[in-house]
Structure 1
């Protein structure tokens, strides 16, 4: 099932004319583009001069969240130079009443993932590290990350029976085994999760939403898009929340990739205390544990599936890192 998105025919004539003026070429044709898991207005534009363009934003039937994050993403493209080497080229924006579109480089002629190779995953680690190094000097241009919703998820599962049942329901026939596992480990997980936002670790500019649908590889170099959630936060958060996306899609696990990131950061004098890796692993698992089992969201029909896909690797990584017993296997519907 695909997300509901507006058609190009829904775009007002005035907005189309603004695009043509900005790009100095008429639009020959346009098509909707699907990707990601939300109802963002997204189009590929074919210009008369042979160029193609990617337009994204908010318009007809867009949800409030689209409108909230759009100016945040635009501000990143306009004001933060650290993202330039690792993001699509930004051509500006256009708007009329009820519509606002960002105009970006079209990345259709690039390599998408999955499938993941180990080489691509390692390259992603190196390129994220390089972005993190560049971004340190600009981290004050963005708001600080909030710990709400990322440092209290295991505590929520412990204290809220409904949340507990959503999580245990993911295991279906193995629910009793999962319940025994949860009761055995949750008091260990809660205080570790709470350490995610500690200030005595490297902080900087982070993307905060790195996963396969928000990236591609251009000439074997990583390109990240969807910068709406970028903020100032623990650097290890970016890769910690990225690892389950890679492993869940058949790629290398965190244990194979984190050393490459650490090596690149250490070459620039940045090291991570032991608690940081444990905290991000546990927080990642907790984030997906409180979401993957909940009812589907109609405007985000694939989201729960993706969250389940990432929960399994996140639980495995955190259990392995802490020397805890493994939970039973998740059941996919």
Structure 2
């Protein structure tokens, strides 16, 4: 006997006028949202994402709203949005369900145990971010929610950078004030649409260019917001150093890297392997900010 599909899958298939032949749950995504790649009885393959609680519902509504703005050239095409009740007054689902095209056939740099960037991939991703910035400020999108508070003044004053082995005391004495000042001078402006969580496992490359997925943290933000978030992790994965990819103003680099550095040297417990990843990112972030400010390269303790 064939098992019944999950409710989100059944509702999504019905909304498309089809039945679900088979469905799999990809091992991706960090939230509690449901995720299914679904093969329909008309031969199509679609991606079904269903909210499961108030938090994932809020994120899914954000994702659906942004995808309507950016269109299928930068994200997956939206095939269905199930919210509320159908024409007969029957609830679709306990929470909203988003149905998009399945991008499994694209090249996913993080699709295996080791992230692999091919020649030209990084350029295609950065070109995609430039295209996203060209959308300007469309109506109806809210500001991104992850613009961080200043971290560098505290990092400088309490010597966590030294204790974490990122710099020696002499370097911090000479340049700490410049680091702190760049963070305080940061100004948030809703200039462009930003994805909010661009990283190697949230994108794929197709013959037509890059396609970004998981727009849960998207909204309006500063130009180069996504670039600043992405470039340090790209470098960690074998890509180019951030300071070789065009100039970004220090007051934008400072806040968007300071929270990563604060986590790396902060008191919150985390597995040793994760602490190591954050420390490696922190060294990349600090070197980038120092270069942007015209400071001498940081000297580790």
1:101 aligns with 2:102: no
Alignment partner, residue 313 of structure 1:
284
Find out whether 1:253 has 2:241 as its counterpart: yes
For 2:112, the equivalent position in structure 1 comes to none
Specify which structure has the bigger relative contact order, considering alpha-carbon pairs within 8 angstroms and separated by 6 or more residues.
Answer: 1
**CA offset digits 1:20-71 (Å, max 9, x no partner):** 2122221122111122433332111122222211112322xx5x53233121
Aligned partner of 1:292 in structure 2 is 264
Structure 2 residue aligned with 1:143: 142
Secondary structure of the 1:136 match is coil
Q: Aligned with 2:283: secondary structure?
A: helix
Count matched residues: 285
What is the rounded CA distance, in whole Å, between the counterparts of 1:238 and 1:123 in structure 2? 14
Cα contact 2:196–2:217 (8 A) shared by 1: yes
Q: Is the 8 A contact 2:9 2:38 kept in 1?
A: no
CA distance in 2, matches of 1:209, 1:232: 13
Q: Equivalents in 2 of 1:109, 1:73: separation in Å?
A: 22
- Structure 2 CA distance for aligned equivalents of residues 38 and 291 of structure 1: 20
CA displacement 1:78-112 (0-9 Å, x = unmatched): 3x1x3431110111133555443211111111111
In the other structure, the counterpart of 2:86 is: none
- Residues 132-159 of structure 1: per-residue CA shift (max 9 Å, x gap): 11x1151x43123468525x11134346
Change (3 A) 1:146 1:108: closer
What's the TM-score once normalised by structure 1's chain length? 0.73
C-alpha distance in 1, partners of 2:4/2:21? 16
After TM superposition, give the deviation of residue 257 of structure 1 in Å: 2.3
Query: Over the residues paired in the alignment, what is the CA RMSD in angstroms?
Result: 3.3
The correspondence of residues 317-332 of structure 1 with structure 2, limited to 5 A, is 317-327=288-298
Tell me the residue number matched to 2:177.
187
Q: Distance in 1 between matches of 2:244 and 2:29?
A: 26
**Cα gap change, 1:156/1:86 in structure 2, threshold over 3 Å: closer, same or farther?**
same
Does the 8 Å CA contact 1:91/1:104 hold for their aligned counterparts? Answer: yes
Flag the 1:54–1:307 CA change in 2: closer, same or farther, 3 A: farther
Q: Which blocks of at least 5 consecutive residues in structure 2 are unaligned?
A: 84-91, 110-114
Which has the larger share of helix? 1
